[in-house]
Structures are given as structure tokens and as C-alpha cells.
Amino acid sequence: MLLAVLFTNIEGNILVERFHGVPAEERLHWRSFLVKLGADNLRRAKSEELFVATHKSVYIVYTMLGDVSIFIVGKDEYDELTLSEVMCTIISSVKDVCGRTPTERLFLDKYGKICLCLDEIVWKGMLENTDKTRIRNLTRLKPPTDI
Amino acid sequence: MAQPFVKKDDDHDEEEEYSPFHGIEKGAVLQEARVFHDPQLDARKCSQVITKLLYLLNQGETFTKVEATGVFFAVTKLFQSKDTVLRRMVYLMIKELSPSADEVIIVTSSLMKDMNSKTDMYRANAIRVLCRITDSTLLAQIERYLKQAIVDKNPVVSSAALVSAVHLLQTNPEIVKRWSNEVQEAVQSRAALVQFHALALLHQIRQNDRLAVTKLVTSLTKGSVRSPLAQCLLMRYTSQVIRESNANTQGERPFFDYLESSLRHKAEMVVFEAARAITELSGVTSRELTPAITVLQLFLSSSKPVLRFAAIRTLNKVANTHPLAVTNCNIDMESLISDQNRSIATLAITTLLKTGNESSVDRLMKQITNFMSDIADEFKIVVVEAIRSLCLKFPLKYRSLMNFLSNILREEGGFDYKKAIVDSIVILIRDIPEAKEIGLFHLCEFIEDCEFTYLSAQILHFLGNEGPKTSDPSRYIRYIYNRVILENATVRACAVSTLAKFGAMVDSLKPRIFVLLRRCLFDSDDEVRDRATLYLNTLGSDPSAETDQEVKEFLFGPLDVPLVNLETSLRNYVASEVPFDFVSVPKEIKSQPLAEKKAPGKKPAGLGAAPTAPTSAVDGYEKLLSSIPEFASFGKLFKSSAPVELTEAETEYSVNVVKHIFDSHVVFQYNCTNTITEQLLEMVTVFVDASEAEEFSEVATKPLRSLPYDLPGQTFVAFEKPEGVPAMGKFSNLLKFVVKEVDPATGEAEEEGVEDEYQLEDLEIVAADYMLKVGVSNFKNAWESLDPENERIDEYGLGVKESLTETVKAVIDILGMQPCEVSLLPNDALHLTTEKNQPCSTSSQGTDVVPSNSRSHTCLLSGIFLGNVKVLVRVSFGIDGSKQVAMKLAVRSEDLEISEKIHEIVSEG
């Protein structure tokens, strides 16, 4: 299960958050835990460099994409390798939507489309699509070209 | 809430104007949502409003029921628009709003229409939305379409249906299970993601049918799975099948060839999964491990941090059980110490500490010293724990490792980190005698400038126990007395106790200690003065005389009762003329209720024994029994068991029994509940047949006069048994009573009743009933304090067992003793609170917990046997490749006969 996908700005403010199967009362804890993890490790990070951590039985893969930090939390079959696959998909789709590595402004500008992409990539805690072209098509309700 | 943008450069004003969500407000957006009602829909405008709504929701904004309903109804209007981007947004919005059951109906027909649309993308999205908002009635209506969708030629539609089915399986398993054939077909799909989703679903459908899972794995491992993600899933299912089949069969390992061939797969993900699966096989041999370790070694130098992390994490686990197999990777791991990702670096270090040999220790320590300065506390704790294990493995290296620990102790760090270091030094002092003096000296240095009261108290207590036994105890006095001068009241009180211990144990120091203690009489704190007064008065008026052994025992001996029980007894004690009787404090540790165990943050960090326990039940039993004249002469209650159910759940009469053990009697307390509203039971008794319990003879019965509906009551039966003998036996029980009909309208019972009886389950008195679960705070000390002459050791072959965990549990259950932990905490520091009340990685672990993959284990148990005889057990287990388990049992007790009796119990069990 993909427990959470979180986008924050450099200051750690939430831009997008998606939780799946995480009780509402635990979300705040996760949110602050992830933001702290980013603050501790992403300051000097290169864009798109993947970081990985484990916390109890869950895995966390996180990165910096331009001005935006992205965190993905998973457990069971969504281990560090699968999460890195999900992360690569998210990175390529966000870049695809924004046309380049996003600044926070650009990210907010394309907010709606990014939400749609995310909806195609992760649905209720499961990875659904991984190809950015297909995802782009799906967000426009166009059939994928690879069929 | 997030600031919608960041100040990055000078053109900050321009950016602020540009931010699409600047100054966004829920009320205004809800107003804007009125555009959804326009007869001429502006698709672009509507999309923008939906984006704003999504932004609000993602920021944690909540809509009231009325607001959500309003938005939901408005959004459904947008189905009129043919604009595809807007339609896609509408699907997302409906999912985000999660309409309630009574609202769903509004949108169902539109979605059903889309689900049958010729446009594939409408179909896929409608399926996902419908499945999100559906209930079982609606699901039955759309089941036909979903089955078709699973095998749809468009992979997007197929995946949408499969993923929806995975979620629906949780709520409507019966319906989803009917789709097996379609899912099976989808597993063979050429589309990679369809295969992945179908395999996950098929496994979930069949997961409780072991044979079906084996069949699934057998057919798919032959090579029809192309998707790497699906391959990884398959590998996990295969590992599961191997694990389960291993338990039943011996010989060749099934599917190993498949795992090995996957090591050559072109996708890294699959290769890694195969390597991990092989390393996790139970009883894996070195030959099987080699190819897996080789690929993991390659991953260590990968450019992808995730691969490096995955590989080092797996190798770290392998190093626990097969350190030699990992040594080939040492050079690669050393280069990871400088990895920018600190998780990877920490794992590399801790793995190296496990695989390194004695000669490499010094070089490794040099590297770690540089590394420690730039990692966070939680990583440092892991390293400290690894160094502790290394030191225990290579005791000759204690000097350099102890120096390392003392150096890092002086550096900056939080409580948990410092505690981990102190705990490590304490353990090393305890296990490596040569390290004692140098270790104590480091601890003394530390308390000179320690900001944590808890740690100061812990160290002072430890110093009091160990310091007097060193070659020159006087050198520690200065450090201890400095605490009396410089610290807060809690630490001062601890320091006074420590000083007194030195005085009591080292006669030559006693006169000087007395001088220091007299100064403490003028302390500003009550507790400090009280302790000083107590010690001065009890240690003898003549400072030059030897201290009496009994006094030492009274002042510094173990308390012998769990502190929590003492606390409860003191709370219950009503101040009166009668002095508080320490003997009345129950000694048994009651097991914790599950709910309380799970509560976060309640775990006392590193406590030796004594989990929090409700003791009111024990007190209650004692009061109850002593109030019954028939049992008043039985003497002191030794033990009361936990209730044993004698009926199944939800039967007419619910009965459980508590076994009360006295020295020469046993009382069964039957707790009965009548669950039938129309019945009143009278003269309730239990007829006990003790023909299979020859040493017991019935002496008294106390019937229950009346047992109305849902009002529990008790009936008792008492037996006599030979005094002080742990007699065992089996008892069959028959509930006898007079039943009277009750008029439900008036609640009155009829006058005439009918005799009836009800068969209950059998009940046994076993050896564990004669053992009190009493923990000791320091097992090693307790063990050494018992006479070695009373020790009995024997070895047992236990045959083939499933796992060590089970075996350990079974032995603990047979003996009914308290598993001990490696305790680090002083008794008199127990009342102190930790600086941080949060779950931290405690360094002590219950010896009843067997680490996974462990092939040997030692469990420490303590208890008090009938007749108040202290018993300690040290039991070691070993398991070989064929799962044969051997056990070595060493028992020490205050009575040789009891030591032998414990062996008897184990050999019979």
C-alpha cells in the first residue's frame, strides 16, 4: 500500500497531500515527520536525487524537484524499489506538465493538471500508471498511444 | 496552511500577484462554484474553480456537510459538458468529495452511462468513480459490466476494473471472488500493468487457500509473467510458498531454480527481489547465498541511491546470521561510509561492525569517529548499539571501544543518544570484568557534567553496586559527593544512597562516609535529609564497626515485589492504627491487558521487570476468600490464576473459573453469568469429578443462591491437597441448578422451579499454577546470589519444531515463570520520569523474544515456587538445519528439591 504522497515547498508548507489507509489522527504526525526529514536532508540535495529511509515497517523515498519536495511513503510490497519507480513516474509527469523543472510558482500554476496526473499514478494507495505519455493522455481523456 | 509561494528573489511583489491561489478563501471559491449552474457552461472557468476546490481540500480545508452537498450537486451538473478536460476534473472532484450514500443516487445514472460509453477513457474513469462511491446493492447491479471491464482489450479499462476490484475485495469479498476466471484471464494479458494488477488481485482472492496459491505460483513461475512489477510480486508469493512447504517437507527446496534464474533478469527490481528472497530463505546455505550476495555487492556501487540502500539493508540483515558470507563486500561497504545519504552510511557502518574481524576494529573505529560528527542522533544510536555488540564479540578490544564510547559521551547529544551510550558502557562493564574500572571512571567523568537527571540517577545507582567491589573504592567518593553539592534534589538523594552503599560495603571507608552523610542532614530537601538520617541510624552508631548483614539486606537488598503492586497496595492502605504490612503486597506480576500494551508512549524506556499491572484483582480475591468462613482457615493465598473459560462464547450460561492456590488447599471460583432473560437460576453449584486428580479431596462447596439474568455470581468448590506439594490433576465440571421461568412483562419468577444441569469443560491444575511470576531487576546478580550447590543442569532433545519462538513460548508456558530482561535501570530511579516520554529504541529486550532467523537463543526466567522458594532458570535453545531443537536447562533455587522438581516438570511437559 502506498500510504502517502506529499508535496511541499522549500519551507515545508504542504502543497498537495494524499493519504491512503492512514487514520486522520496520524496524518499530522506523518506530515511533520516527513517535513522534518526533508529539512534535515534535502537542504543540500541536487534536484531529482532520490533519498531513502525506513521508519518502523514503512519505507520512504523522497526528493527535491526544483523548488518542490516530494515524499512517498509505502509499506509491504511498496518497498524502496517500488517507491523509487513511483517517484520516477511522478517526477517525469510533473516535469511533463510544467514543461521543465518546476518552481513553486509554476507548480501552483499547473496545480489542477498535477492533481489529475497524481490521480492517474496512484489510486487509493495502488500504483496504477507509470508512463508519462500515457498519463498525459489519460488526464485529457485520450486513449493511450501504446495500445 | 501553506503560504502559496516562496520568497526567492527580489521580484517578490510580481510573484505574489502571479500566484494563482494567493488570498484564496473557501467562501469565495464556493461562491465561484455557482458557475457550474450556468446554462452555458464555460469549461475553462469551471476547470479553474475545480482546481481551486482541489487546492483547498489538499490544504486540509474541510467542507461542512451542507457545503459538500452543495458542491457535489453543482459538480454533477457538469456532466452536461462534452469538454474532456473538464470531465476528467469532474471525475476527480467526485472522488475527492466522497458523497454520502443518499447523495450517490444523483450521479449514478450519469456514471452508468459513461461506463457503457464507446469512449474507453470515460469507461475507465466511470468505473473508478463508481467503485469508490458504490455500496453492495449498486455493486450487484454493475457487477456484469465490471466483469467485462476486467477482460476489456483496452488495458486502461482493464486496470481500472482490477484496481477497483482490489479495493472492493475488502468490503464485498463474496462478489469479487466470483470474478476469478476473468482475473485469471487478465493475468495472461500482454499489458504489463494489467498483469501486475491482476496478479495482485488473484493472490488476494486466493490467499487463504494454500493449495491454490501454490498452483498459481507453479504455473506462473514457468515464465508467462513479463511485467517486472508482477515478477516482484510473484517472487514474494513464491517465497511464501517456499516458507510454508519447508515446514512440512525436508530435502530439495522447491522453486529455488526460479529464484536463482531471476538473479539474471534484466530489470534491477527483479534481480534485487530475487536476491532478497534467497537471503531470507529459512536455513539458507552458504552455497545458496553466494550468487545472491554477488548481485547485492554489485548494487552497492550502483549510481542509484535507492539500489545502494536496498542492497546494504539486505546485507545488514544477512550479516546477523551469516556474517562470513558478507565479508567479501567489506571493501564496497567501506566506501559507502562517505555516502551522502546518511541512512546508507549508517547501514554500511553497522554491517561492517558485524562482519569485521578483530584486526580491522581499530581501522573501522577511526572511520566511524569522522562519520559520527555529521549524522543525526537516531543514526548515532544505531551505531552505538552496533559497537556494543562488537565489543561483546571481541572483548579484548574493550579498551579502544570503551574509549570511543567515552569520547562520544562527552559530545553534544540528546537524551536517547546519551542513554544508549550509558547503557552500552553499563553492559560492557557487566560482561567484561577487565573493562569495569575504566568504564566506571568514564561514567564518573560523565556525571560531572550531565544534564539528564535520569542518567545521573542511573549511574549513581550502578556506581553504588559496582564501585565498592573495585580495587580502590575511595577514588569514586569525590565524584559522588560532588553530586550532593552541585545537583538537584533527585540526584542528591541518589548520591546519598550511593554514599551509604560504599559505607556499608567497605568498612575502611565507613567513618569518612559518616562524616559526609552527617553533612547531608542539613540539606534543604526532605528526601535527602530523610535518607541521610535513615542510613546514619541503621548502619550502626559505631562508624568503625562492621555493618550487619541483615541491615545491608534491608537497605540495599532487592525489593522482591513489583513496584507497581507496592504502589497499589499503598494506595489501598487506609491510614489507621495498624501499621502497613509489607508482606501483604502481592508478588505476582499480572499480564498487561492488550489494549494497554498497544497504547503508544506508555512503554517505560528500558525498565527491567515490572510492567504496569492492575493488581486490584489479586487484592480483591484475597478479600473475597477471607470473607468466606469455610476458606478463612486456609492460610495465606499463594496465587490466583487468570480466569479460564469453561464454556464457549455466546452459550446460554457463561462460566469461567479462577484457581486459587493455598499451601494445602485449592479453591475453584466459578464465575457464572446467566444470559437468558426468561430464566432465573437458583442454588447454583458445580459438581466436580476429581477421579483424575487423586491427591485432591473435596472439603467444601459454597453454592450460589440466585443467578438472575446478566448479573454475574460466584460459586466455590474447595479441595484439600498434601501440604506444600505441587499436586496436579484433571477435574470435570457439571453446572447444577434449579431453573425458574421469568415473566418478561413483570420480571417476576415462577414459584416452582425445575432441576437442571449443564456440562462444562474440564479443568486442570498444572505445574505453572504453583509458580508466581516474579521478575528480578538484575538477573545476573540474582543468579549469583543463589547457591551454586542448588543448581541442576540437564539437556533435552525436543525433536522437530516449527520455530524457536514457539518453543521458547511453550517452555515459558509450562513453567509459568516471568521472562526477564537485561536490566539497566536502578530500582530507586524508577520513580523518576524520563526526560522524553516517547518510545525510543530501548537497549534492553525481553529474553522471551527470539530475534528472527536466530538459530540459538537464551531465555532467562524467574519466579517463586509454592512455599515461597525463589527459582531462577537459564534455558538455552539451539535449532539446526533440519529444525531439530535442543535445549539446555539450568535451574537455581533456594531449595535443591525444587530445582529438581523444575526439571521434572519440564521433562513431563
Q: Hey, are the CB atoms on B3 and A15 less than 8 Å from each other?
A: no
Half-sphere exposure of B13 (CA within 13 A, CB side): 0
Q: How confident is the model over B722-764, as pLDDT tens digits?
A: 887 888 888 999 999 998 888 877 777 888 888 888 888 888 8
Measured at the alpha carbon of residue B239, what is the angle toward residues B233 and B240, in degrees to the nearest 5?
95
Query: pLDDT band at B590, cuts 50/70/90?
Result: low
List the beta bridge partners of residue B772: B864
Considering only the beta carbons, identify the residue of A17, A111, A139 that sits closest to B51.
A111
Q: Say whether A67 and B232 touch across the interface (CB within 8 A).
A: no
Within a domain: A146: no
pLDDT > 70? residue B845 = no
Query: Across the A/B interface, how many CB contacts are shorter than 8 Å?
Result: 149
Distance between CA A57 and CA A73 in Å, rounded?
Answer: 11
B589 confidence band (pLDDT: 50, 70, 90): low
List of residues 6+ apart from B287 with CB closer than 8 A: none
pLDDT of residue B843: 32
Could you give the CA distance from residue A20 to residue A16 in angstroms, rounded to a whole number? 13
User: What pLDDT score was predicted for residue B592?
Assistant: 39
CATH architecture entry for B770-908: 2-Layer Sandwich (3.30)
Q: What average pLDDT does the segment B368-381 reach?
A: 78
Mean pLDDT of A64-90: 91
**Residues in A touching B1 (Cβ below 8 Å):** 13
Judged against a pLDDT cut of 50, whether residue B613 lies above it is answered with: no
Domain-located, residue A133: yes
Q: Which of B15-29, B351-365, B445-459, B862-876 shows the lowest per-residue confidence on average (mean pLDDT)?
A: B15-29
Verify whether the Cβ–Cβ distance B92 to A115 is below 8 Å: yes
Amino acid (one-letter) located at B891? V
Closest CA to B770 of B725, B717, B730: B725
Tell me what pLDDT residue B879 has.
Answer: 81
Residues of A in contact with B153 (CB under 8 A): 147
CATH 2.60.40.1480 for domain B615-765: yes
pLDDT at B470 over 50: yes
Which of A83, A124, A144 is nearest residue B156 as measured by Cβ atoms? A144
Take residue B494 and report the three cell numbers written for it. 541518589
CB A103 within 8 A of CB A65: no
Q: Tell me which amino acid residue B166 is.
A: V
Residue B275 pLDDT: 94
Most confident range, picked from A55-59, B20-24, B47-51, B817-821: B47-51
Question: Rounded to a whole number, what is the distance in Å from the CA of A97 to chain B's nearest CA?
Answer: 14
pLDDT attached to residue B834: 25
- ipTM of the complex model: 0.84
Q: Could you read off the pLDDT of B201-251 as tens digits, one per residue?
A: 999 998 888 888 899 899 888 877 888 889 999 999 999 888 887 655 555
Chain B CB contacts of A143 below 8 Å: 120-121, 154, 156
Burial pattern A41-56, b for ≥16 Cβ within 10 A else e, equals bbeebeebbbbbbeee
Question: For residue B593, what pLDDT is reported?
Answer: 38
- Placement of cell 516482484 in the chain: B232
Mean pLDDT of chain B: 82
Interface test with A, best of B1, B3, B5, B129 (most A CBs within 10 A): B5
- Sorted by sequence, the CB contacts under 8 Å of residue B15 that are 6+ apart come out as A105, B5, B7, B8
Residue B573: φ, ψ to 5°: -70, 120
> What local confidence, expressed as pLDDT, does residue B794 receive?
87
pLDDT for B3 beyond 80? no
Q: Do B343 and A112 touch (CB under 8 A)?
A: no
B893 three-class SS: strand
| Domain edges within chain B | 374-451, 468-557, 615-765, 770-908
Report the pLDDT value the prediction gives residue B498, as an integer from 0 to 100.
94
A36 touches chain B (CB under 8 A): no
Smallest CA–CA distance, residue B88 to chain A, in Å, is: 6
Q: Provide the number of structural domains found in chain A.
A: 1
| A129: containing domain | 2-138
Average pLDDT, chain A: 88
List, for residues B280-298, the tens digit of each pLDDT value: 988 888 888 999 999 999 9
Read off φ and ψ for residue B791, nearest 5 degrees. Answer: -90, 140
What number is the average pLDDT over the span B336-360?
Answer: 84
Residues in contact with A50: Cβ distance below 8 Å, sequence separation at least 6, in sequence order: A61, A62, A63, A84, A87, B304, B305, B306
**CA nearest B716: which of B730, B704, B702?**
B702
Which residues in A lie closer than 8 A to residue B313 (C-beta atoms)?
Answer: 54, 80
The whole-number average pLDDT for the span B840-851 is 52
Q: Give whole-number Cα distances, B714 to B274, B621, B668, B702, B706, in Å.
A: 60, 12, 10, 9, 10
Q: Under CATH, what is the fold of the domain B468-557? A: Leucine-rich Repeat Variant (1.25.10)
pLDDT at B837: 29
Confidence of residue B822 (pLDDT cuts 50, 70, 90): low
With an 8 Å Cβ cutoff, are B89 and A52 in contact?
A: no
Share of chain B above pLDDT 70, in %: 89
Q: What is the pLDDT of residues A110-130, one digit of tens each?
A: 999 999 999 989 888 888 888
Please give the pLDDT value at position B311. 94
What CATH number corresponds to the domain at position A124? 3.30.450.60
**pLDDT reading at B551 higher than 80:** no
Q: Does A92 touch chain B (CB under 8 A)?
A: no
pLDDT tens column, B769-790: 888 888 776 777 788 788 888 8
pLDDT confidence band for B816 (50 / 70 / 90): confident
Q: What is the CA radius of gyration of chain B?
A: 35
